[in-house]
Amino acid sequence: MDEERLRRGSVELERLGFAVRVGAGVLERRGFTAGPIDTRIDQLHELFADPSVAAVACARGGAGVMQLLPHLDRDLLEQNPKLLIGYSDITLLHLDMERLGITSLHGPMVARELADGEGAYDAASLWHGLTGEGAPYASGPDDLVSLAGGVGEGVLRGGCLSLLAAAAGTPWALRSTDEPTLLFVEDVDEKPYRIDRMLRQLRRRGRCRA
């Protein structure tokens, strides 16, 4: 974790009108994670248990998120629901939150987009997601490139493609549902053959079609 980027992202949240509290231990480091498992899980539990905390915004996508899943106190999370914001490896927490019926947001992270200021993220969309005020995100006519024509409608589910694939076959996999679903995926620096492999893996697990 880059301390200066964390500070800048916190300042950006404050500029938007939110009071920011940085969790204890965020700047710790052990190997490729921000401290040992027990420190990180205690930090997450403490933030959810605190009634003065309205949302938990992740500083970065944590490569060690899967380590935390067996240790989550899901009763505590269910009894103290609050918004979780992040993407990338945070996908695994989003999947768990959905099972618990807790709303979460795939959105900008504090030491990433928020640290780079308003031009690096969609401020109006974030504001709507956090407060319900204003209009939700909508793409413009030239924002997206369609690979195939057609119309679809359903519940938006998904996350980081490599994490969705890694979770397949575990208790934390993208859950099956009979609801019409639009699958969204995000990832960076993946070769086309790896993307093809992961999509085929999800399809064979029955998590997406065609």
Average pLDDT over residues 162-175: 91
What local confidence, expressed as pLDDT, does residue 144 receive? 86
What local confidence, expressed as pLDDT, does residue 114 receive? 97
Question: Mind listing the pLDDT tens digit for each residue in 110-134?
Answer: 999 999 998 999 999 999 999 999 9
What local confidence, expressed as pLDDT, does residue 164 receive? 95
Structural domains for the chain:
3-131 (3.40.50.10740), 155-204 (no CATH)
Q: Model pTM greater than 0.75?
A: yes
Residue predicted with more confidence, 45 or 181 = 45
Residue 46 pLDDT more than 80?
Answer: yes
Residues 6+ apart with CB under 8 A from 154: 179, 180, 181, 182
Residue 210 pLDDT more than 80?
Answer: no
| Closest alpha carbon to 50 in 26, 78, 80 | 80
What local confidence, expressed as pLDDT, does residue 208 receive? 53
Residue predicted with more confidence, 33 or 91 = 91
Average pLDDT over residues 5-22: 96
What DSSP element (H or E) covers 84?
A: strand 83-86
What local confidence, expressed as pLDDT, does residue 206 receive? 67
